[in-house]
Amino acid sequence: MSVRRLGAPHPAAVRRSHDGSPAALAGRPVEAVLEEWVVEDRWWTGRPLRRRYFEVVLEDGRNAVLFRDLVAGGWFEQRA
């Protein structure tokens, strides 16, 4: 039996707008950014976590939570 972590982030194909916010996810345009926040944690360890999160609404009406890893780079989608 394998164990799968719920809510684990997975890489996402994000196109950014001029201000750095997501403009499209996997080719689907972002209609609105509902919320934006930064999470900084484990700064006292050798593996700090620093992420810029965005809750967005896509053109098809689907909500998504995306983040940019500000330490290692790259975009990810995270589901609850």
Tens-level pLDDT at each residue, the chain (80 residues): 666 666 789 999 999 999 999 999 999 999 999 999 999 999 899 899 999 999 999 999 999 999 999 999 999 999 85
Which backbone phi and psi does 45 adopt, to 5 degrees?
Answer: -105, 180
The predicted pLDDT at position 4 comes to 67
DSSP string, 1-29: -----TT--EE--EEE-TTSSEEEETTEE
Residue whose token pair is 């896509």: 58
Residues paired with residue 18 on neighbouring β-strands, in sequence order: none
The predicted pLDDT at position 58 comes to 98
The predicted pLDDT at position 25 comes to 98
